[in-house]
Amino acid sequence: MGLGMEMRFEGCPAGVFAVVAPVFSPVSPQAEALSHIFVITLLVCAAIFGIVTLLVALCILRFRGKPNAPEPLQITGNERLEISWTVASILVLVGLFVLTVHAMNVSDPAADRPADLTVIGHQWWWEVRYPNGAVAANEIHIPIQSNLLIRAEAADVIHDFWVPQLGRKIDVIPGTTNSLWLRADAPGEYLGTCAEYCGDEHAWMRILVIAQSPADFDAWQARQLQAAATPPSTLAAEGLKVFRAKTCVNCHTIKGTDAETSVAPNLTHFAERTTIGTGVLTNDAESVRLWLADPQKIKPGCHMPNFELTTNELNALTAYLETTK
Amino acid sequence: MNGTTVSTADEYMPMAKEAGAISCVATVDHKRIGILYLVTTFFFFLVGGVEALVMRLQLAVPRNHLVGPGVFNQLFTMHGTTMIFLVVMPALIGFANYFVPLMIGARDMAFPRLNAMSYWLLLFGGLLLHFSVLAGGAPAAGWFSYTPLSESAYSSTQGPDYWILALLVMGVGTVAGAINMIVTILTLRAPGMTMRLVPLFVWMVFINSILIVLAMPALNASIVMLLIDRQLEAHFFTALQGGAPILWQHFFWTFGHPEVYIMVLPAFGMISEVVPVFSRKPIFGYGFVAGSTVAIALLSFGVWAHHMFAVGLGRASDLFFAASSMAIAVPTGIKIFNWVFTMWGGSIRFTTSLMFAVAFILQFVVGGLSGITFAVAPIDWQMTDTYYVVAHFHYVLFGGTLFAMMAGLYYWFPKMSGRILSEKIGKAQFWLMVIGFNGTFMVQHFLGIMGMPRRAFTYPDLPGWGALNMISTVGAFILGFSVLLLGCNIVWSLRRGTQAGDNPWNAWTLEWATSSPPPEENFERVPEIHGRRPLWDLAHPETARAPVKTDFCPEKNKTSMIVFIVSEGFFFLMLIFAYIYYNYTQKPGPDAASSLDARKTLLFTCSLLASSFTIWRSETAFKRRRHKPMVLWLIATIVLGAIFIIGQGSEYWGLLQRGITIRTNLFATTFFTLTGFHGLHVCIGLMLLTIVLVLMLLGDFKNFRPRALQIIGLYWHFVDAVWIVVFSIIYLKLLL
């Protein structure tokens, strides 16, 4: 449809072109079908609203009572008229229902094969697992022009996965799995968000889908399997020590170190990501320092406590995390 | 009209003062209770409004830090809960309380003391809800309290517990009020006013009360299960122990969608009174308006899962609920044309009341049409849980219901106070409210389309988001100002307003046939009923039809018990459904087969069933006016009931001895809840029977007039019938 104007915007993570109305700027056949039926329905609604408004306006203009006017003709109804508008509204809705069935089939075909990747909603971040074993967080890389079947799960409460330019939203529910087709026809970065209220930091549970050419995607996916680089400087090496000493390893994984838990985002390739805190800050050294100094100040209620790091520890840990490419 | 005296607020107020402050607490007069409802809801409206304004301030600019997520989430939870349960519902009930008895020519409600109880339960429920703020924090899981977020693992404060208890307290009051209303309308109509002749407001309140009686038990049952989860560590909705979080959504919306109609039907009724009077024509298509309301009530129980299109329930379910939701749009939508064609050809008087009604029509159409976009499930897949939804239901509930209540207030205030609200201030308030309301909520449609999720305490600085949110915030403050102006208008008009007289609008329904405000007994003489517009017929005797006989007027005590039993039946239906849902497949841990002794249960089941026979014998003796057998059979009933309770107690004891408690697994959770609630009902029945027995022994039944025995007998039969169902589901297969 392309109704949405595209523009570069400062509030977005670097490199993201945000569209004003993502619902009307589909980049997949699924989202196209949704946008299409939405536009048709809105036109129908606008026509109905127009009719009612016109009738009300005519009433106001034509039937304004004058003071001491005699009582008007007492009409109690008109069965034929009432039956006709009942039938007319039924016909409109039957038409919409037919379009609904069609749009559902196009935008949400049945899942007929094993999932291509798994997305797990956590309070308040997204874990993304690829079939080759790569694990990412919050930023979902996909190859363009390929129908990907997503398996959607939840680790704690109900969340909802929604990237409006790519298709429908789907709840992710603890105890059950859902599936969803994801596809992007053009390379680019597409914003999404958790849409189901999930507690304190529901607002900062953003999603970024990065659609790449198949070659770029394959390269990225292969890179994810590599271990994190050995700290290149003494400061960074100091940072790795802090990382291990401060119990960071109890929650985070960094491949190539002994940090192997996935309660919190995998940090092996942390420095490659565009945002931290699931969208709350742009990922640069300054933000990382701010975050580490007190995560509760940046994202109140999040599950990472304030470790009260000293300035030296902050410098070292920031330097180390900046090397995790 | 009719030569009754014109009394005024000045005459009325001193009377209230003379009676002392205590009289307003002790009153059982439906009019004063109605006013208590309206004053209370106006207070809570201000509370909920301030909560909304703080939220709007927080959202005025991106990445704002005015309040943190903790406070914001409490604010939107409390705002939703307050506006729904403490403002919209009770305000409509308040209007109904004041005007239904007047409109049907009754002296008061069927059960004035029960009526007072309903009000006080509402007030104390509201206070209990707000007490949570002092007890560690208000609930923050949303007014829908989705599990598992609202379970103790993720909501560790006592907020949700207060939320549950408050809703239970209010829920009991609301159901009692609805039963009272149904019985009042069925049994206290003026001679000649058949159910086909009642004013549409009365009809809508009647259908609405039926909806309340059927829908509230679904809420009560769900929140009781949640409370058991939270307090007793049971597993109804906890995923880790096999519970289904989605079941909560099904249960909640089984209540929640009828609730939406509970919040609009009386508003439809008000519009159906106001538009004809100020257009000087009868309602266009009374039959269609009344009949389509019945259709809405029936369909409203079949559309709940359109709140759950994003859950992934599957194609069949989504299609069914898309179709049913479109179907309910028809009876809702066609009413719009009925109102418009009531104005068509009329002689319209542009009072503030009518202006609010016209704004209602247009705004409700917007809300209804955006509702249709949600019935189209694929659009819902995009738009649900965004600001588009927030815009949608505010157009229905604020632009719709609240505007209708404004129309109703300007229309009926003269009757309640004896003085007309200032039209000048009223029109200023109207325009401010229209601008403020549309300014706040129109832009939220666009925010949704732009991808802004609802229930988020802040948002990234994406293109346009900040600007539209700022517009919305400014609109909200204009809206807030218009509410203050309403307050000023009420205060000013109570002192200085034009004297209303009996019938300032030259209206046609019975409430205008008495003084303003009406005397305590309501009417000196109720005019003869010839048709739907008694006062029109009085003024135009040449066109009036011959009066008809009252069609259907059942006995009030029995009717109230039957309605109550239906409501209770729905409560048990939810518990029974939960038991079946969790036990139809084999699960690890104890189950019915491994832990229950069905033969022993059969014994005390027989005892309970026999008690139905004995109470029937006692009733027969009562009818034959034979005192001794009546007492003896009643004693037998109580003994048999007690045997059942002792039997059930021993069964529980045996289970507990073997370490099976409500937290063991889902079988235990559902078993103890279902049989426990049944046992509780048996105990209540036993208490009631014992009271009747004591009264009998004290000689109260000497003249065989009290109906208590028959009424409680009905209840007792119901309790037995429930047990037959419970027994068949839990035990029967163990015997076969």
Yes or no, beta carbons of B343 and A56 under 8 Å apart? yes
- Nearest C-alpha of chain B: how many angstroms from A269? 24
CB contact, 8 Å: A301 with chain B? yes
Yes or no, beta carbons of A9 and B341 under 8 Å apart? no
Yes or no, beta carbons of A72 and B148 under 8 Å apart? no
Q: What percent of chain B has pLDDT over 70?
A: 97
Contact list in A for residue B145 (CB cut-off 8 A) is none
Does the CA dihedral B198-B199-B205-B210 come out positive or negative? positive
Q: What is the DSSP string of B188-219?
A: -PPTT--TTTS-HHHHHHHHHHHHHHHHHHHH
CB contact, 8 Å: A156 with chain B? yes
β-bridge mates for residue A135, sequence order? A129
Torsion of CA B567, B572, B573, B574, to 10 degrees: 100
Yes or no, beta carbons of A158 and B148 under 8 Å apart? yes
Residue type, B415: K
DSSP class of A230: P
Residue B21's pLDDT band (cuts 50, 70, 90): low
CB contact, 8 Å: B379 with chain A? yes
Residue A1's pLDDT band (cuts 50, 70, 90): very low
Residue B22's pLDDT band (cuts 50, 70, 90): confident
Buried-state track B619-628, b at ≥16 Cβ within 10 A, e below 16: bebbeeeeee
Token representation of residue A45: 């609604």
Buried-state track B308-330, b at ≥16 Cβ within 10 A, e below 16: bbbbbbeeeebebbbbbbbbbbb
Residue A297's pLDDT band (cuts 50, 70, 90): very high
The 3-state DSSP class for residue B154 equals: coil
Residue B19's pLDDT band (cuts 50, 70, 90): low
pTM of the model: 0.94
CB contact, 8 Å: B148 with chain A? yes
Yes or no, beta carbons of B310 and A66 under 8 Å apart? no
CA distance B696 to B627: 9
- Residue B573, judged by CB atoms within 10 A of its CB (0-12, 13-18, 19+), counts as middle
Q: What is the mean pLDDT of chain B?
A: 93
Residues 270-289 of A with CB under 8 A from B: 279
Contact list in A for residue B250 (CB cut-off 8 A) is none
Find all residues with CB under 8 Å of B128, minimum gap 6, and list them: B162, B165, B166, B169
CB contact, 8 Å: A53 with chain B? yes
Find all residues with CB under 8 Å of B11, minimum gap 6, and list them: B418
> How far is Cα of residue A103 from the mean position of the Cα atoms in its chain?
21
CB contact, 8 Å: B196 with chain A? no
* pLDDT (average), residues B400-418: 97
- Nearest C-alpha of chain B: how many angstroms from A215? 30
Least CA distance to A193: which residue of chain B? B453
Contact list in A for residue B336 (CB cut-off 8 A) is 52
Nearest Cα neighbor of B329 from A86, A201, A278, A119 is: A86
Residue B164: HSE in the Cβ half-sphere, 13 Å Cα cutoff: 24
Q: What is the DSSP string of A3-47?
A: -SPEEE-TTSPTT-EEES-GGGS--SHHHHHHHHHHHHHHHHHHH
Residues 259-298 of B with CB under 8 A from A: 279-288
Contact list in B for residue A159 (CB cut-off 8 A) is none
- Residue B1, judged by CB atoms within 10 A of its CB (0-12, 13-18, 19+), counts as middle
CB contact, 8 Å: B70 with chain A? yes
Yes or no, beta carbons of B284 and A85 under 8 Å apart? no
Residue B11's pLDDT is: 41
Task: Quote the ipTM score.
Answer: 0.94
Is residue B382 predicted with pLDDT exceeding 90? yes
CB contact, 8 Å: A191 with chain B? yes
Yes or no, beta carbons of A171 and B330 under 8 Å apart? no
Residues 309-338 of B with CB under 8 A from A: 310-312, 315, 318-319, 322-323, 326-327, 329-330, 333-334, 336-338
Nearest Cα neighbor of B201 from B285, B134, B286, B122 is: B286
Is residue B9 predicted with pLDDT exceeding 60? no
CB contact, 8 Å: B545 with chain A? no
- pLDDT, one tens digit per residue, over B34-77 is 999 999 999 999 999 999 999 999 999 999 999 999 999 999 99
Residues A212, A136 contacting (CB under 8 angstroms): no
E strand or H helix that includes residue A220: helix A214-225
> How far is Cα of residue B396 from the mean position of the Cα atoms in its chain?
17
Closest by Cβ to A55, choosing from B282, B340, B460: B340
Please state the φ and ψ torsions of residue B527, each to the nearest 5 degrees: -60, 155
- pLDDT, one tens digit per residue, over B612-641 is 999 999 999 999 989 899 999 999 999 999
E strand or H helix that includes residue A124: none
In angstroms, what is the C-alpha Rg of chain A? 27
Contact list in B for residue A22 (CB cut-off 8 A) is 450-451
Is residue A56 predicted with pLDDT exceeding 70? yes
Residues B169, B121 contacting (CB under 8 angstroms): yes
Question: What Å distances lie between residue B301 and B81, B214, B256, B258, B613, CA to CA?
Answer: 21, 9, 9, 6, 35
CB contact, 8 Å: B458 with chain A? yes
Yes or no, beta carbons of B348 and A64 under 8 Å apart? yes
